[in-house]
Amino acid sequence: MTVRRPRTVLAMSAVARDRLFTPASLARLREVADVDTGVVLPELSADVEVLLTGWGSPPIDAAVLAAAPRLRAIVHAAGSARAHVTPACWERGIVVSTAAAANAQPVAEFTLAAILLANKGALAAARDYQERRTRIDALAEYPEIGNRDKTVGLVGASRVGRRVIELLRPFDLRVAVADPFLDDAEAARLGVELRALDDLLAESHVVSLHAPSLPATRHMIDRRRLALMRDGAVLINTARGALVDHAALTDELRAGRLTAVLDVTDPEPLPPDSPLFSLPNVVLTPHIAGALGTEVTRLGDAAIDELARYAAGEPFAHPLRPEDLDRVA
């Protein structure tokens, strides 16, 4: 097997580089590729073969490509590459990889925690305990709580959705999935029940969103569909805020019929006077489910792994293709 060191440029902000790569991983990167790790966002030279992109990367349009006639690959050390991989890249036949699978891990972990806490009634119990500040008879007051024999509905068998499915396997939960790209055979392989979206909403104790934000999915969880959810159900959104009609959701939350765990909103951030900040049955987090802190270097390591595959003449393990764009964030 021939292994070479392709000429590579870091097309990201200096902050992204410093968060994505440790000194050890930068040393490994220099072993894999011919790259100056001390330089970011330079003018592209004609010999550049690979762009290693991340947060702060500019759009790679026709003008950028004209300056880099030998560019053959883009390795994105983050989740969504939609903002900078333009149609001109696909027209040129450039191969693209993303670290979306690595970013899916912390999102799935956050989702798992939210599901287990929601079924255990922890959100309501914590609120009640804080207000009363006295002993609570949990057996009498919360007879339906628990992580056994509950239905968890996942909207989207995306990378995150599939990782959530894996993490839920040790628990005595029924897992249903709504996804137009999933068939019965694949659902059986995943060990889940395939459901139409309306049926999933009506059956589930917890609904977690893992669909991409596209024109077709905007407000897919609208007033009619929110009304289908059972009383006391919990809606978790770690995907994109635009999937949910927030005016309709606010009405349901004000009525006390549902609970929501929202890591993403529309708009983001919410205006300071949004009632979602103060409603007792809402948990708002500031878009923290994805890779942050100690998790970020996982994305850098994943990108170096992909670059090593490319240098060895192997296909990417996590490619992004034009036909995937209708399914990914």
Catalytic residues: 240, 268, 287
Q: Kindly write down the DSSP assignment for every residue of 1-64, as one continuous string.
A: ------BEEEES-HHHHHHH--HHHHHHHHHHSB--TT--SPPPPTT--EEEE-TTPPPB-HHH
Q: Could you give the 3-state DSSP secondary structure of residue 225?
A: helix
**Do you know the residue count of the chain?**
329
Instruction: List, in sequence order, the alpha helices (H) in the chain.
Output: 14-20, 23-32, 62-66, 87-91, 100-119, 122-132, 138-141, 159-168, 184-190, 197-203, 223-228, 246-254, 296-311
Q: What are phi and psi of 8, to 5 degrees?
A: -130, 145
Between CA 88 and CA 111 the distance in angstroms is 36
**Residue 84 buriedness (CB in 10 A; 0-12 / 13-18 / 19+):** buried
Query: Exposure pattern of 28-46 as b/e (b: 16+ CB <10 Å)?
Result: bbeebbbbebeebbeebee
Between CA 266 and CA 242 the distance in angstroms is 5
Is residue 188 within 8 A of residue 165, CB to CB? The reply is: no
Instruction: Kindly state the helix (H) or strand (E) to which residue 149 belongs, with its residue range.
Output: strand 148-155
Query: Residue 319 is encoded by which pair of tokens?
Result: 């490619």
Between CA 172 and CA 194 the distance in angstroms is 18
